[in-house]
Amino acid sequence: MKTYDLDHAATTKLDPKVYSKMKPYLETYYGNPSSLHTIGIENKKALNDAKKGVARLLNCDYKELIFTGSGTEAINLAIKGLAFKYPNKKEIITTKIEHKATLNTCHFLETLGYKINYVNLDPDGFIDLKDLEGKLNNNTLIVSIIWGNNEIGVIQDIDKIAEIVHAHHSILHVDAVQMLGHFKIDLQALDVDLMSFSAHKIFGPKGVGLLYKKKPIEIEPIIHGGAQEFNLRAGTENIYGIIGFYEALKNVHDVYLNQQQDLKDTTKYLYDQLKARFKFRLNGPDLNNHRLPGLLSLSFEGISGHVLQYQLNQRGIYVSTGSACNETSMEVSHVIQALHDHGEGTIRLSLGYGLSSKDILYIVEQFSDILEN
3-state SS assignment for residue 281: strand
Residues 6+ positions from 113 with CB-CB distance below 8 Å: 90
d(CA 176, CA 260): 17
Would you say the C-alpha torsion 273, 274, 275, 277 has a positive or negative sign?
A: positive
Diameter of the chain measured on Cα atoms: 67
Which one-letter DSSP state was computed for residue 303?
A: S
List 212's β-bridge partners, or say none.
Answer: 65, 195
Look at the chain and count its residues: 373
Strand 295-300 relative to strand 194-198, pairing: unpaired
Task: Report CA-CA distances (Å) from 199 to 36, 46, 319.
Answer: 29, 18, 21
Amino acid at 221: P
Task: Report CA-CA distances (Å) from 58 to 185, 243, 346.
Answer: 6, 15, 35
d(CA 351, CA 348): 10
Amino acid at 118: Y
Amino acid at 185: I
Let me know if 60 is a catalytic residue.
no
Q: Which of 41, 116, 325, 338 is catalytic?
A: 325
Q: How many CB atoms lie within 10 A of CB 372?
A: 8
d(CA 15, CA 200): 10
DSSP states of 94-136: E-TTS-HHHHHHHHHHHTTT-EEEEPPB-TTS-B-HHHHHHH-
Residue 61: exposed, middle, or buried by beta-carbon count in 10 A (0-12, 13-18, 19+)? middle
Residues marked as catalytic: 325
